[in-house]
Amino acid sequence: MILRRFHARRFLGLPDEAFEFVPGVNVVIGPNEAGKSSLRAAIHAVLYGNPATTSTKFRDEFRSWGAEEPPVLILEFEVDGKRFVLTKDFATRKVTLQDELGRTWDQHKVVQERVAAQLGLVTEDLFEATAQVAQAELERIHINSIAKELGRIVGGGGEDVTTAIRRLDQHVRAMEKGTKALTKDPGVLRATEDKVASLKEEQRRLSSSAAAADRIRVELTAIRETLTTATDTLTIKRALLDQNREIVTLEDRLAGRQREEGMLEEKVKKIEDTLTKIAQVDHELESSTAAGLPDEDATAAARKLSDRAAAFEMQTGQLRHQLEQPDDIPAAHRLWRVAGAGGAAFLLTGAILAIAARVPAGWVLAGGGAILAAVGWWQVSRVARERARAEIRREERERNLAVLERTIESTRVELGAKLAQLGCATVKEAEQRLQHHRDLARTRVQLEQFLTDQRAGRSDEDIVEQWKTVRRDVFGLQERLRTPEVATRRLTPLQLTALEQEVQQLTQQVAGLQDKERRRSVELERHTVDADALALVEEQLHEAEEQLARATHRHEVYKMALAGLLEAHQQAQVPLREVMQKKASDYLNILSAGRYRLLQVDPENQEIELLVWSNDAGGWVQTREPSLSRGTVDVVYLAARLALVDVLTGGKRPPLLFDDPFITFDEQRRQAAAALLRELAGSHQVFVFTYTHHFDGVADRLIELPGPSRVEGPARGETPRAGVQPVMHEPEPAPVPPVGPLWDQSQSR
């Protein structure tokens, strides 16, 4: 199969890209995130994806960023010179294969079977494990898928030999399970042997069980008689207890209804009283309004005038009181005058004595007289000043008193006018009338709220009707409790408590007897033996011995068949293994530049275990680290993958996809890998996805992908250099010339 043209829409990093391929080596080169892995994944999806059953998660994961619809993939390929167009639309979940003659196939199973047949790799796992090599996946080989396909090739179709051997071995092991060691789930042989031994033991046990059965029958008869008596007594007692519990329930219900009746009666009474009070308040409000209600603003103004007049009168009284009180003026002013005159006399006398008589004491007398004269005259002048100030204060108070009396008179005149306007004798009367009206209005609101709370959204008629209904219920319950049946069966609380304890004890006694009867019945059933049972056991023992003989014979047959199949399978696998080993050795010789020439599959290992001959080690070396380097391990597994392609495809030539699998190779091995690519290009179409130019020399077609920063611009429209194909942007693939169908025309429609 040769891929000629591929168009991907809305697939990962390929929003709308078209590519053309050629036979040989197609090298797709570009930096990281340029879309190389997206192109490889898209080719894989168009070859093996199923739009009809693909999950929504898959469709969302592979949808390009910003795209609203799932991907659409269109592939033009060539088989034996004939071209076909394969379309897989993940948006509409449809697959279509069409040739130029107009023949169309749209059933995914039919299309996929034939596409896979042309690829030679019938399952997606085989393709991923062999023909497709992604980054860091050289060592990953799907052992189960490859082993199954190898078995199918060796067996010639139908159920593969490996599966048959595995199932036959499972049958043998299942039959032998438990014969050599203890197990919870033994096989047929051990189970049958145990059954034979058990039946023999059962045959011996039956005879000893008969005597025990006779003893149990006697005991069981006595238990049943006691149980019958206790059950009858319990039935009578329990009926009486249930009746009294029902009576207690009725009494509790009656008490509840009586409480409800009392509450409803009280509520009706409160509603009636409230309505009466509301009527009285309304009458008083009407009367107070009819008599004339003082204006609140005028009343407030009258209150201010009254308060002002009272304040002025209080000030007037204080002034009169002050005028009536004498001033606090020192009264001993004559004494101070005498002291001043005496001091002056002493001063004069002392001065004369000191000057004329030259008596030293005269100066002392003169000094004392001077001091006494100064103090006396100072005090006399102070008293005079105090009297003058007191007179000024009295005159000021008299003037203020006259002003206040005039102000009081004008205020009282204005207050009288206000009271006349209000129609009240005093301010207090007006305030009392206003306050009385406010109290009535507030009382009216409170009564209305109380009435609303009592009614709780219902009408008075509904409340009265409910009260009557409850009264009828109370009467009915009382009459029911007075009936003779209730009166004759009613017990006192102490009697009821004693009856409950008695019923509880009887219940426990009956339960114990029933349990004892049940256990004895089970024992009797277990020990009951008759002739038929013994004959049945002997018959079962005979059948079990025959089953054991048949199982033993079948086990021997299975073992012989398994040994024959294993030997035949091993002999048939030798040529196929040799072909795979030869191909892998040839590829390994090229990739290792002759350092490793031989590779084999371990014949003792059921899985694919690769061994490499090393001259340095002098023997076969397992392909794993640290025996070999990481790069050498990758080389060996790459050779094995390519060899498996030749073995598994049966002569078909699927395209080989390499997504940078040579990143661990040094320069010498990269050159060897390039040589291998040229070798493979002779029989396969090869795709190499890389970010380097190491393989440009072996490329038959070089496709350069721009980096993510160059997704737009004139670079896409430039003419590429010779031998290099840029990404193509076209809405639909060009029509192909008319060719014949890919397979039998009977499959087309």
- Residue 701 is classified by DSSP as E
Distances (CA, A) of 142 to 127, 137, 196, 280: 10, 11, 47, 103
Kindly state the average pLDDT of the residues 113-121: 86
The yes-or-no verdict on residue 225 having pLDDT over 70 is yes
Distances (CA, A) of 659 to 27, 75, 362, 636, 688: 10, 19, 144, 17, 6
The yes-or-no verdict on residue 274 having pLDDT over 60 is yes
**How many other CB atoms are there within 10 angstroms of residue 121's CB atom?**
27
Q: Please, which pLDDT band fits residue 542 given cuts at 50, 70 and 90?
A: confident
Kindly state the average pLDDT of the residues 663-673: 83
Q: What pLDDT is recorded for position 663?
A: 78
Q: What pLDDT is recorded for position 570?
A: 59
The yes-or-no verdict on residue 95 having pLDDT over 90 is yes
Tokens of 552: 């033993």
- DSSP per-residue letters across 603-655: TT-SS--EEEEETTTTEEEESSTTTS-HHHHHHHHHHHHHHHHHHHHTT----
d(CA 567, CA 99): 48
Q: Provide the phi-psi class of 593: left if phi over 0, else alpha when psi is between -120 and 50, else beta.
A: left
d(CA 28, CA 14): 14
> What domain count does the chain have?
1
**pTM score, whole prediction:** 0.44
d(CA 10, CA 352): 143
The yes-or-no verdict on residue 73 having pLDDT over 90 is yes
- The answer to whether residue 565 is domain-embedded is no
* 3-class secondary structure per residue, 24-84: CEEEEECCCCCCHHHHHHHHHHHHHCCCCCCCHHHHHHCECCCCCCCCEEEEEEEECCEEE
What pLDDT digit, counting tens, does each position of 235-268 carry? 998 888 888 888 888 888 889 988 988 998 888 8
Of 311, 303, 328, nearest to 414 (Cα)?
A: 303
- Higher local confidence (pLDDT), 135 or 71: 71
- Higher local confidence (pLDDT), 319 or 97: 97
* 3-class secondary structure per residue, 70-127: CCEEEEEEEECCEEEEEEEECCCCEEEEECCCCCEECCHHHHHHHHHHHHCCCCHHHH
- The answer to whether residue 656 is domain-embedded is no
Q: What pLDDT is recorded for position 712?
A: 43
- The answer to whether residue 405 is domain-embedded is yes
* 3-class secondary structure per residue, 579-603: HHHHHHHHHHHHHCCCCCCCEEECC
Residues 6+ apart with CB under 8 A from 623: 610, 611, 612, 633, 636, 637
What pLDDT digit, counting tens, does each position of 555-568 carry? 787 777 777 766 66
What pLDDT digit, counting tens, does each position of 702-712 carry? 999 987 754 44
- Higher local confidence (pLDDT), 701 or 650: 701
- Higher local confidence (pLDDT), 529 or 111: 111
What pLDDT digit, counting tens, does each position of 333-377 carry? 566 666 667 767 776 776 777 677 666 676 777 777 777 777 766
Residues 6+ apart with CB under 8 A from 96: 85, 86, 87, 89, 104, 105, 106
Domain containing 305 equals 296-423
Strand-pairing partners, residue 6, are 19, 75
Distances (CA, A) of 655 to 1, 43, 46, 98, 366: 7, 10, 13, 21, 152
d(CA 72, CA 46): 9
- The answer to whether residue 74 is domain-embedded is no
Distances (CA, A) of 634 to 97, 134, 136, 474, 665: 37, 12, 9, 98, 8
Tokens of 341: 């005159």
The answer to whether 609 and 146 are in contact (CB under 8 A) is: no
- The answer to whether residue 43 is domain-embedded is no
The answer to whether 141 and 608 are in contact (CB under 8 A) is: yes
Strand-pairing partners, residue 687, are 26, 657
d(CA 649, CA 655): 11
What pLDDT digit, counting tens, does each position of 146-185 carry? 445 444 444 444 445 667 777 777 777 787 777 777 777 7
What pLDDT digit, counting tens, does each position of 580-597 carry? 778 778 888 887 777 777
Kindly state the average pLDDT of the residues 655-660: 89
Distances (CA, A) of 471 to 250, 271, 455, 460, 464: 15, 18, 19, 17, 11
- The answer to whether residue 647 is domain-embedded is no
The yes-or-no verdict on residue 7 having pLDDT over 50 is yes
- The answer to whether residue 748 is domain-embedded is no
- Higher local confidence (pLDDT), 91 or 295: 91
What pLDDT digit, counting tens, does each position of 490-521 carry? 888 898 899 889 989 999 999 999 999 899 88
Tokens of 379: 């005090």
Strand-pairing partners, residue 104, are 98
Q: Phi, psi (5° rounding) for residue 184? A: -75, -25
d(CA 227, CA 214): 20
Burial 9-39 (b: 16+ CB within 10 A, else e): bbbbbbbbbbbbbebbbbbbbbeeebbbbbb
- What's the whole-number average pLDDT of the chain? 78
Q: Please, which pLDDT band fits residue 85 given cuts at 50, 70 and 90?
A: very high
Residues 6+ apart with CB under 8 A from 717: none
Tokens of 676: 């291998």
Q: What pLDDT is recorded for position 747?
A: 39
- Residue 715 is classified by DSSP as G
- DSSP per-residue letters across 169-212: HHHHHHHHTTSSS--SS--HHHHHHHHHHHHHHHHHHHHHHHHH
The yes-or-no verdict on residue 572 having pLDDT over 60 is no
Q: Please, which pLDDT band fits residue 54 given cuts at 50, 70 and 90?
A: low
Q: What pLDDT is recorded for position 713?
A: 39
- The answer to whether residue 313 is domain-embedded is yes
